[in-house]
């Protein structure tokens, strides 16, 4: 009985692992953004800001401090505005199109 349960569990875990999609690597996300027309340095900065934001917002939300979470959100919005103030209108339009099309949320 134990052997059958063990085999079932092993097969189930293998199937579960096979059906779980892997998160795309940072490099593949940057490559995808570049392939769609964004400049590589802009794509890398966007991803870098997003990774930093995700880490900070998770910590802020985990603390239960709503003011800290809001301040973190505001700080990152300001950083995005500063970043996009330096790019061309064409690059900004490409980013906005990709953001709407793929719901990138960054």
**39-58: burial string, b at 16+ Cβ within 10 Å, e else:** eeebbbbbbebbeebeebee
Residue reference for tokens 């910590």 = 59
Q: Is the pLDDT of residue 5 over 50?
A: no
- pLDDT of 105 reads 55
How much is the average pLDDT of 26-43? Answer: 89
Residue of 55, 59, 53 lying closest to 73 (CA atoms): 53
How much is the average pLDDT of 31-58? Answer: 89
């Amino acid at each position: 009985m134990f052997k059958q349960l063990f085999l079932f569990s092993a097969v189930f875990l293998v199937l579960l692992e096979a059906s779980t999609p892997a998160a795309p690597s940072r490099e593949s996300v940057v490559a995808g953004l570049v392939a769609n027309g964004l400049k590589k340095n802009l794509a890398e900065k966007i991803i870098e800001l997003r990774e930093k934001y995700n880490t900070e917002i998770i910590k802020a939300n985990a603390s239960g401090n709503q003011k800290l979470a809001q301040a973190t959100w505001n700080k990152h919005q300001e950083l995005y505005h500063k970043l996009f103030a330096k790019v061309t209108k064409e690059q900004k339009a490409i980013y906005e199109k990709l953001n709407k099309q793929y719901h990138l949320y960054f």
